[in-house]
Amino acid sequence: MTKKPIIFSGLQATGIPTLGSLLGAIRNWVRLSVDNNCLYCVVDMHAMTIRQDPEALRNYARQALAWFVALGLDPKACTLYFQSHVPAHAELAWILNCFTYVGELNRMTQFKDKAAKNEDNVNAGLYTYPVLQAADILLYQANLVPVGDDQRQHLELCRDIALRFNNIYGDIFTVPEAYIPPVGARIMGLQHPENKMSKSEAENENNLVLLSDSPESILKKFKRAVTDSDNEVRFAPEKPGISNLLTIYACATGKTIPEAEAEFAGQGYGQLKNGVGEAVVAMLKPYQDEHARLMADSKYLDEVIAQGAAKARAMSEVTLRNVKRAIGYPMP
């Protein structure tokens, strides 16, 4: 019997997931969970690199896991859990810190970007964030990691750490490969289409669509989306706003980019914005209804959380024990 490939990915618990998270990540997670052994994690430990309100963090983490299920991830077919419920993440991260060079961390562009935006809280956790990310992945012997272009550097560091460790101690870790979905890998901001749609840009509420947004809010945000001056609906590098709208429309409707271009050919940007907004509203409605139902069913959600944590802990303990034995920790 052929062993299914193991896939790991995670989502931060720092707010309501965005449309970009759904179209650029979670939708692909659902497809991948059919033929692979998938672990999808709410990375609440990573969230600690910025100051969190405790009640808000707990609420957002629970909502995020409910979104996983509402968006189509089957808890019986894949492992859904909170990172903080599996102590092995932190244990392995410390060990891997000792196999990661300062020069490697200094080259991480995300650290530089985030440090520049949060000068009053440039903490050690932000600096070693990629090592915890490596521990997340290597702990489960993941073969594939769905990543956007902005995470390629972190995955390359993860691979370097795994190879370095294996060269010293033998084949302890599987060296993961990136899985880059061909369409919709990067959903850009509506006001800043040159940058990925991100919760870190939440100071401009019109830049991103949250999965919980009302139809009225969604339509308003798309009406305000940045375009350009020539009024031609065409997918092209020099038209980032229009290209982003066409990408979102294609993802929301299942059509190709050329089909989307043809549908809006000869029409103005106003018709395009309305069409994209309406398609997103229609796509999100059943997901929003299911999320509300799940949040109201605390018993079921608690069961999903407990079962996911138990499955993840069982898998993680095998790797962590092998690592401890390899590096010379006294074994019980």
Output phi, psi for 100, to 5 deg. Answer: -120, 135
Residue appearing with tokens 């000068």: 119
List the catalytic residue out of 196, 221, 239, 273.
196
**Of 298, 307, 284, 281, nearest in space to 70 by CA:** 284
Contact between residue 172 and residue 165 where contact means Cβ atoms under 8 Å apart: yes
Residue 138 CB-half CA count within 13 A: 33
Q: How far apart are the first and last CA of the chain?
A: 34
CA distance 48 to 18: 20
- In the set 117, 199, 223, 285, the catalytic residue is 199
Q: Which amino acid is residue 126, in one-letter code?
A: L
SS percent in the chain: helix, strand, coil, step 5: 60, 10, 35
Task: Return d(Cα 23, Cα 254) in angstroms, integer.
Answer: 11
Of 3, 4, 112, 114, which residue is the catalytic one? 114
DSSP codes joined into one string, 68-102: HHHTT--TTTSEEEEGGG-THHHHHHHHHHTTS-H
Whether residue 311 lies in the annotated active site? no
Which 3 state secondary structure label does DSSP give 32? helix
Q: What angle do CA 20, 22, 28 make, to 5 degrees?
A: 115
Does 199 participate in catalysis according to the annotation? yes
Report, as residue numbers or ranges, the catalytic residues. Answer: 114, 196, 199
